[in-house]
Amino acid sequence: MDSDLHSNHQPRVVIIGAGFAGLGAATTLVKHGVKNLVILEALDRAGGRVWTHKPFGTAAVELGATWIHGQDDNPLYQMAKERGLLADDEFSMVTCQPVSVTPQDYFFNEQGKQLPSTQVEHVTGFFGRLMSQINQQDYKPECQSLSVGEYLDREFSLTDLSKAEGSEDIYEWCKRVECIDEACNSMYEFSLSQLGLYTALEGPFFNSLGSKGYQALLDLLIGQLPSNSLRCRKPVQCIQWEGSSSSGLKASKHPINVVCEDGEQFPTDHVIVTVSLGCLKERATTLFDPPLPKGKMEAIQRLGFGTVAKIFLEFSKPFWPDDCAGIQLVWQQGPESLKGYSDGCKQQLWRSEWFKKIGGFDCVPMHKSTLCGWITGLAAEHMETLPESEVGEVCVRLLKKFTGWPVTELQGVLRSTWYTNPYIRGSYTNVPVGVDAVKEQMALAEPLPSTYQRKSLLPLQVLFAGEATHPNFYTTTHGAYMSGVREAERLIKLYESKVNPRL
Ligand SMILES: Cc1cc2nc3c(=O)[nH]c(=O)nc-3n(C[C@H](O)[C@H](O)[C@H](O)COP(=O)(O)OP(=O)(O)OC[C@H]3O[C@@H](n4cnc5c(N)ncnc54)[C@H](O)[C@@H]3O)c2cc1C
């Protein structure tokens, strides 16, 4: 890219979205000398699905991503480590086991009875081992067209554990909590054969990037941008790329025109689109002119994008024991069994019984009086529509009913609204049953004009990054960041090959 970059005719690059993908792309371009770039961000802040918030005092809570998933080859872990951002406390690390529970998790059933830890350990241990095997693609080959939920049920029914009283309810709890990792409504919607394509990096998960939270990493990246290149409150309405019928575009020396909702226009040579898959599902038909090719539209429709929500509850003082890491709710009947799921869908129980999808409430690092509840899928999307006060009251009722403890005064409620947010529309990507993840993710990531389009068009006009486009690390912050770096490097290579055509 050097000759063009160091001439007076630098290519212009517009990046849409200032999440980790957008920031990864921008900082990589800057490192290679690109100065003519702008990031258009719809929200009033950078970070996207990472949002460090301080609602209950000076310490941060994370409304979106909390953990840095794994260490080896994780660029965000490396960055945080080099800059001394990793907090070193008891909460800061967990091993990356599916459904990892600690002896400090208190499990209660609906009758207010605390469940014996040995029984909980047996069932959660079994479930965790089974999920690890699935993640390593070690499952019975004849089952590969099944959903994860069907496979799990099959294996569980073969064990003696399934016959022990109360164990099935704990097993259903495991499935409910696993929906958080997979951002799915139900384990019956989620593909068994595709799950192992996600790659878990070695090393524990890290939490607690000091009291500044994930924001510390965002600040590090934002600090590397040229001044005034980050434009917040700038929602993009349409990307007119070459071939667009827009008359203004034909007269411009740039092949692309990015039009914002407020009417401001950004003529450019390249645009890197990092908006979430949820946004693409909702507005891909109007966001691009000319429209996206068929293969890309199909990829957008076929890949799944589920909702995971957090509910933070701030109490006047803790009412749980000092050693408690979380209060887990084990329902007797819920939406996790195949029957419960089918009945629930038919009767739309996720509206009236949305709270049955709450797996439990975890203690929050650095907040001694705060709990964080987790909820997924259609129930989470319904929860987002309710008044925050109602959500808080329901949670308090649940905590009283299950634990029987004297619940102290609820002083504050903050719940995430990732689905309702028009510029996010969900939480992260999943792969539904019957979908070929590699094929669809490649189609999603392919730049435009695609190799199938006219050769005469200027190359790499519209590039695609974002968590959903990463074939191995989708769902994560490092996957998002690496996808942005990938697209920036694609552009850099284009200009390098112009200098040296053999490249
Ligand atoms: C509740 C929750 C918990 C999570 N936990 C973890 C975790 O512990 N660890 C982990 O690694 N990952 C976690 N994730 C996932 C992680 O947050 C995402 O994978 C990652 O942040 C996605 O980054 P991105 O840049 O691809 O997309 P985004 O962060 O969504 O960024 C895209 C940006 O584009 C903007 N945008 C959208 N439309 C427009 C438009 N028309 N014009 C201009 N701008 C637009 C959006 O406002 C947004 O800022 C979690 C996510 C959620 C929601």
Whether 126 and 42 share a structural domain: no
Asked whether residue 81 is domain-assigned, the answer is no
Residue 217 CB partners (closer than 8 Å, separation 6+): 76, 79, 80, 85, 209
Report whether residue 49 contacts ligand 1, using a CB cutoff of 6 Å.
yes
Could you report the per-residue pLDDT of 142-195, keeping only the tens digit for each? 999 999 999 999 999 999 999 999 999 999 999 999 999 999 999 999 999 988
Residue 6: predicted pLDDT: 52
Average pLDDT over the chain reads: 90
Looking at ligand 1, which residue's alpha carbon is closest to its atom 7? 65
What is the distance in angstroms between the CA of the first residue and the CA of the last residue of the chain?
11
CA-to-CA dists, residue 446 to 268, 295, 474, angstroms: 19, 10, 16
Asked whether residue 222 is domain-assigned, the answer is yes
Whether 295 and 389 share a structural domain: no
Residue pointed to by tokens 């907090």: 87
Whether 444 and 458 share a structural domain: yes
Which atom, in ligand 1's list, is nearest to the CA of 17? 34
- Among 415, 443, 475, the domain boundary falls at 415
Cβ-contact 468, 444 below 8 angstroms: yes
Please list the residues that pair with 199 across neighbouring strands: none
Report whether residue 207 contacts ligand 1, using a CB cutoff of 6 Å.
no
- Among 359, 385, 415, the domain boundary falls at 415
Query: Rounded to the nearest whole angstrom, what is the distance from the C-alpha of residue 64 to the centroid of ligand 1?
Result: 8
Give the mean pLDDT of 44-53.
97
Domain count for the chain, please give it.
2
Asked whether residue 231 is domain-assigned, the answer is yes
Residue 233 has which token pair? 């409150």
CA-to-CA dists, residue 372 to 105, 113, 271, 285, angstroms: 13, 21, 38, 37
CATH label of the domain that carries residue 495: 3.50.50.60
Whether 340 and 466 share a structural domain: no
Give the mean pLDDT of 394-398.
98
Whether 388 and 357 share a structural domain: yes
Query: Rounded to the nearest whole angstrom, what is the distance from the C-alpha of residue 63 to the centroid of ligand 1?
Result: 11
Looking at ligand 1, which residue's alpha carbon is closest to its atom 15? 476
> Residue 3 above 60 pLDDT?
no
Asked whether residue 186 is domain-assigned, the answer is yes
**For residue 93, what pLDDT band results from cuts at 50, 70 and 90?**
low
Which of 35-39, 92-96, 395-399, 476-480 is predicted least confidently?
92-96
Asked whether residue 391 is domain-assigned, the answer is yes
> Residue 90 above 50 pLDDT?
no
Asked whether residue 312 is domain-assigned, the answer is yes
Query: Rounded to the nearest whole angstrom, what is the distance from the C-alpha of residue 126 to the centroid of ligand 1?
Result: 32
Whether 24 and 173 share a structural domain: no
Report whether residue 311 contacts ligand 1, using a CB cutoff of 6 Å.
no
Query: Rounded to the nearest whole angstrom, what is the distance from the C-alpha of residue 112 to the centroid of ligand 1?
Result: 38
Query: Rounded to the nearest whole angstrom, what is the distance from the C-alpha of residue 391 to the centroid of ligand 1?
Result: 24
Distance CA 461, CA 447 (A): 7
Where on the phi/psi map is residue 35: left (φ > 0), alpha (ψ -120 to 50), or beta? alpha
Whether 404 and 430 share a structural domain: no
Distance CA 394, CA 392 (A): 6
What is the residue range of 128's domain?
97-199+308-415
> Residue 500 above 60 pLDDT?
no
Could you report the per-residue pLDDT of 295-323, keeping only the tens digit for each? 999 999 999 999 999 999 999 999 999 99
Asked whether residue 88 is domain-assigned, the answer is no
Which atom, in ligand 1's list, is nearest to the CA of 76? 11
- Among 415, 446, 471, the domain boundary falls at 415
- For a ligand 1 pocket test, name from 14, 27, 45, 49 the mutation site with the most ligand atoms within 8 angstroms of its C-beta: 49
Whether 327 and 262 share a structural domain: no
Whether 355 and 446 share a structural domain: no
Give the mean pLDDT of 269-280.
98
**DSSP assignment of 277-344:** HHHHHHHHHHHEESPPPHHHHHHHHHSEEE-EEEEEEEESS--S-TT--EEEEE-SS-TTSHHHHHHH
Asked whether residue 15 is domain-assigned, the answer is yes
> Residue 200 above 90 pLDDT?
no
CA-to-CA dists, residue 263 to 59, 75, 258, angstroms: 39, 37, 10
Report whether residue 415 contacts ligand 1, using a CB cutoff of 6 Å.
no
CATH label of the domain that carries residue 381: 3.90.660.10
Whether 116 and 179 share a structural domain: yes
Whether 315 and 410 share a structural domain: yes
Residue 97: predicted pLDDT: 47
Report whether residue 426 contacts ligand 1, using a CB cutoff of 6 Å.
no
Whether 326 and 193 share a structural domain: yes
Residue 4 CB partners (closer than 8 Å, separation 6+): 10, 11, 495, 498, 499
Dihedral sign for Cα 276, 277, 282, 283, please: positive
